[in-house]
Amino acid sequence: MTDRPTETIERPGPSSVVGPYGGREPRPASLADVLDRVLDKGIVIAGDIRVNLLDIELLTIKIRLLVASVDKAEQMGIDWWKHDPMLSGREGRLADENRELRERVRELEERHG
């Protein structure tokens, strides 16, 4: 048995690959990196769908999608989830208020014919 030093073979990893211009290529971003960047900066996806028949517009659907973190959305002045009754727990109160208003309208209609 001969005592030879063990050689370590280094293989280039994603962060050490030499690009076509001699520089180091940036390593590919993981899904977590991409998601973190999107939530931090925000991304808007917009599109319109129109259905026409003989130059008559039958249907238009406007789609606007914003993907951002809650903090970023609040910085942009978007906070609809705070005021939406379905999400803020105020749905029951609105239903009660609606019922009371209907009763008042019914009473007024009965009085004034």
Whether 14 has a pLDDT exceeding 90, the answer reads no
The pLDDT tens digits for 55-99 are 888 999 998 888 888 888 888 888 887 777 777 666 667 778 889
- The count of domains in the chain is 2
Structural domain contains residue 95: yes
Structural domain contains residue 6: no
**One domain, residues 70 and 94:** no
Whether this prediction's pTM lies above 0.75 is answered by no
Cα separation values, 71 from 24, 33, 35, 38, Å: 35, 18, 15, 13
Question: Which residue range(s) make up the domain with 41?
Answer: 29-78
Structural domain contains residue 60: yes
**One domain, residues 36 and 71:** yes
Structural domain contains residue 71: yes
Cα separation values, 5 from 2, 8, 16, 19, Å: 10, 9, 26, 33
